[in-house]
Amino acid sequence: MMINKMQYQATGNTFTDLHFTYRIGISTISSIVEVVCEKIWELLSAECLPQPSQEKLIEIASGFAEYANFPNCLGAVDGKYIRVIKPINSGSDFFYYKKYYSIVLLAMCNGNYCFTYIY
């Protein structure tokens, strides 16, 4: 079972591909991937994306001032629309003007292109 969870995350194979490869149900694969992603976030989020302290924010601002000539900048923000299947009973909450359903992935980076915030 461990191989298909890692294969999904590493290669981006669809649940249908994994269903045919490992001969387990798509709903089972979906629940396995969901549980594993939640555990990875639970165990690693504090280490990989900690809450920035005042010292860390000063370090980020000095990095932007030194490398990009942007004084007092605390991050570069960008977002991306990720296509999703329409959630049940969501109405038009996830409808994007380009005629598909999506969620927004928002991230902020420091002057060295490292993530400091993800939403």
CA dihedral sign, ordered 48, 54, 59, 60: positive
Q: What are the residue ranges spanned by the domains of the chain?
A: 1-48
Give per-residue pLDDT as tens, 50-101: 888 999 999 999 999 998 899 999 999 999 988 888 888 888 888 888 888 8
The tokens describing 55, both together, are: 């010292």
Residues 19, 26 contacting (CB under 8 angstroms): yes
Per-residue pLDDT band for 1 (boundaries 50, 70, 90) equals very low
Pairing of strands 100-109, 76-83: antiparallel
The tokens describing 82, both together, are: 């990720």
The reported pTM is: 0.61
Give per-residue pLDDT as tens, 31-61: 888 898 899 889 988 888 888 899 999 999 9
Give per-residue pLDDT as tens, 14-30: 788 888 888 888 888 88
